């Protein structure tokens, strides 16, 4: 339970009658389910900062242990990294250096640029030294130093690292959870109560205010948007039921298509979202569920499926209560699975009819340049869908779990470059020296075209103890 809620329950303990208090405690024990309190942001669009939080271990579920990802032919599974956001292992820029330095000492800095996109880009790197740092000239450095502006610069190209996804049927099965049984509300209720249909509608959830983030295609997201049409979006962009082949430049926004099709939940079917603890050992997940969701053109064509996205951030370790790992190991583990997700299938009432109506299972990045279609059938109106791709694959069987893993397809290319330099620290104790490296590029994605990474150096006197601890860790 969050600290704020614990405070209020202590207060309630002092003022409420015992029967009322027991009822409230029972409600919390059932998973801290919260009303969405959705806000109207436009026709067919809602926004909320309240996300139900459910620990399914209290209902007898045992977490699935996430095994290490296997090797994929022609690709390298991306592991831990760093950058301007510590929860993003795929940051374009990363600046590192010492944490503590004494006055007059020399600090060694490194700046790494990485191109995780699918094409070569030109980068411009600028690192301006603050006054407490004096640059040490280095003729062998690739960086150019301008004493007048105190800036280090570099310009050049980086090959594409091509960070993308593989989608494979997983060896373990994640359970399909009917969140209504845990108290989560039907997201359609608010639309219907407002006189709207629950058709081609979206709800945006603020993860950041709850202490979480998600990672998709190397971008850290504090909000996720879910659509009735079987989609999770990395931005608040409405996508209709006319499914497309992925990647598709005309389909803007980060997109996870668990079962993209034309769905109408106005009169039948349900739609739920929650943050789930205890589903995957050591991680909380953003869980979206479509239950008996009816096709807009055929109410008898229904499906039960879900999307589960592993979450980053300190809150994502709350489900690892039994873990004996250190906080540092937990952080490294969380970075190692940044961007991993699952598609879970419980039932498709008529797979053959689904193929006739059209569907897409896949993923795409923000610009539509990268992506993957796992299974696909074109919609029955080619003029509307503007798609000529032939069908691929078949709708998953009940009990199937598809695992989405980020991979670096261009791992053998020169997709990243590291620059280093040294500077004398002229600051005084207890000064903090802030130093930011900035990079711009030819990327079409604004979030990647201008990036920065800030390093903080604390000027401190070095003190040494006259003994060596048996538990001392080497720097």
Provide DSSP, 167-217. EEE-SS-PPP--GGGGTPPPTHHHHHHTT--SBS-EEEEESGGGT-BEEET
pLDDT of residue 411: 85
Check if the beta carbon of residue 346 is closer than 8 Å to that of residue 258: no
The bridge status of strand 121-128 relative to strand 53-55 is: unpaired
Q: Are residues 228 and 101 in the same domain?
A: no
pLDDT in tens, 326-344: 333 444 444 568 899 999 9
pLDDT-derived band at 446 (thresholds 50, 70, 90) equals confident
Whether residue 25 is contained in a domain is answered as: no
- Tell me how crowded residue 158 is: count the other CB atoms within 10 A of its CB: 21
Q: Of 365, 392, 408, which residue is a domain's last? A: 408
pLDDT in tens, 255-266: 999 999 999 999
* pTM across the whole model: 0.82
For 371-386, the pLDDT digits (tens) are 999 999 998 876 667 6
- Note the pLDDT tens digit of each residue in 30-88: 444 545 688 999 899 999 999 999 999 999 999 998 865 433 333 443 433 334 566 68
Instruction: Please give the Cα distance from 111 to 119 (Å, whole number).
Output: 21
Whether 437 and 403 map to the same domain: the answer is no
Radius of gyration of the chain (CA): 25
Average pLDDT over residues 333-358: 88
Same domain membership, residue 116 and residue 89? yes
In a domain, 13, yes or no: no
User: How far apart are alpha carbons 166 and 374 in whole angstroms?
Assistant: 9
Whether residue 474 lies inside any domain: the answer is: no
Q: Residue 182 in contact with residue 27, Cβ under 8 Å?
A: no
Q: Has residue 152 been placed in a domain?
A: yes
β-sheet with 255-260: strand ranges across: 39-42, 45-48, 202-206, 223-227, 231-233, 255-260, 359-364, 371-377
Number of domains in the chain: 2
pLDDT digits (tens, 9 = 90+) for 163-208: 999 999 988 899 999 999 999 999 999 999 999 999 999 999 999 9
Q: How far apart are CA 66 and CA 271, in angstroms?
A: 26
* CA diameter of the chain: 80
**What is the pLDDT at residue 40?**
92
Q: Is there a single domain that holds both residue 287 and residue 378?
A: yes
Q: List CB contacts of 306: < 8 A, sequence separation 6 or more.
A: 176, 177, 258, 287, 288, 289, 290, 343, 344, 346
Q: Domain of 117: which CATH number?
A: 2.60.40.10
Confirm whether 22 is domain-assigned. Answer: no
Judge whether 7 lies within some domain: no
Q: Same structural domain for residues 141 and 276?
A: no
Whether residues 85 and 140 fall in one domain:
yes
Among 393, 408, 423, the domain boundary falls at: 408
Convert the pLDDT of each residue in 8-21 to its tens digit. Answer: 444 444 444 544 44
In a domain? residue 23: no
For residue 470, is it within any domain?
no
3-class secondary structure per residue, 238-275: CCCCCCCCCCCCCCCCCEEEEEECCEECCCCCEEEEEE
**pLDDT exceeds 80 at position 399:** yes
The C-alpha atoms of residue 422 and residue 136 are separated, in whole angstroms, by 6
Helix axes 3-15, 18-29, angle to 10 degrees: 160
Claim to verify: residue 404 and residue 277 sit in the same structural domain: yes
Please indicate, yes or no, whether residues 154 and 171 belong to a single structural domain of this protein: no
Give the domain range for residue 282. 31-61+163-408
Q: If you average pLDDT over every residue of the chain, what do you get?
A: 83
Q: Are residues 310 and 274 in the same domain?
A: yes
Let me know whether 82 and 144 are in one domain: yes
If asked whether residues 308 and 437 sit together in one domain, one would say no
**If we measure between CA atoms, which residue out of 417, 74, 111, 382 comes closest to residue 244?**
382
373 plus 283 within the same structural domain? yes
CA dihedral 123, 124, 125, 131 (to 10 degrees): -170
């Amino acid at each position: 339970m969050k600290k704020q809620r614990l405070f209020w329950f202590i207060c309630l303990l002092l003022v409420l009658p015992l029967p009322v208090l027991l009822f409230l405690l029972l409600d919390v024990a059932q998973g801290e389910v919260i009303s969405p309190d959705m806000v109207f942001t436009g026709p067919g669009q809602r926004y909320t900062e309240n996300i139900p939080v459910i620990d399914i271990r209290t209902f007898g579920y045992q977490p699935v242990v996430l095994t290490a990802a296997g090797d994929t032919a022609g690709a390298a599974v991306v592991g831990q990294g760093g950058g301007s956001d510590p929860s993003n292992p795929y940051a374009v820029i990363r600046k590192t250096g010492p944490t503590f330095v004494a006055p007059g000492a020399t600090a060694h800095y490194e700046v790494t640029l990485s191109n995780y996109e699918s094409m070569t880009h030109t980068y411009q790197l600028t690192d301006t030294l603050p006054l407490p740092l004096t640059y040490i000239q280095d003729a062998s450095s690739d960086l150019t130093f301008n004493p007048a502006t105190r800036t280090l610069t570099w310009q050049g190209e980086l090959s594409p690292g091509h960070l993308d996804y593989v989608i494979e049927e997983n060896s373990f099965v994640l359970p399909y959870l009917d969140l209504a049984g845990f108290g989560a509300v039907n997201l359609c209720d608010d639309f219907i109560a407002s006189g709207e249909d629950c058709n081609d509608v979206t709800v945006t959830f603020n993860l950041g205010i709850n202490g979480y983030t998600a990672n998709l295609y190397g971008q850290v997201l504090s909000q996720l948007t879910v659509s009735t049409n079987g989609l999770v979006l990395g931005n608040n962009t409405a996508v209709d039921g006319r499914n497309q082949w992925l990647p598709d430049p005309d389909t803007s926004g980060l997109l996870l298509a668990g079962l993209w099709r034309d769905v109408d939940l106005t009169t039948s079917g349900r739609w739920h979202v929650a943050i789930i603890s205890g589903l995957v050992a050591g991680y909380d997940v953003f869980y979206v569920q479509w239950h008996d969701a009816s096709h807009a053109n055929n109410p008898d064509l229904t499906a039960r499926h879900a999307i589960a996205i592993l979450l980053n951030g300190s809150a994502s370790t709350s489900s690892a209560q039994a873990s004996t790992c250190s906080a540092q190991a937990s952080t490294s583990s969380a970075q190692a699975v940044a961007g991993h997700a699952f598609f879970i299938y419980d039932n498709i009432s008529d797979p053959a009819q689904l193929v006739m109506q059209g569907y897409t299972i896949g993923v795409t990045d923000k610009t539509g340049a990268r992506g993957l279609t796992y299974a696909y059938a074109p919609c029955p109106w080619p003029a509307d869908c503007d798609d000529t791709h032939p069908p691929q694959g078949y709708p998953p069987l009940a009990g199937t779990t598809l695992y989405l893993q980020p991979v670096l397809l261009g791992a053998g290319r020169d997709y990243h470059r590291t620059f280093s330099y040294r500077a004398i620290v002229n600051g005084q104790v207890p000064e903090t020296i802030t130093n930011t490296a900035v990079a711009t590029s030819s990327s079409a994605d604004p979030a990647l075209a201008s990036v920065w990474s800030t390093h903080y150096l604390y000027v401190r006197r070095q003190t040494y103890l006259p003994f060596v601890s048996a538990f001392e860790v080497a720097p």
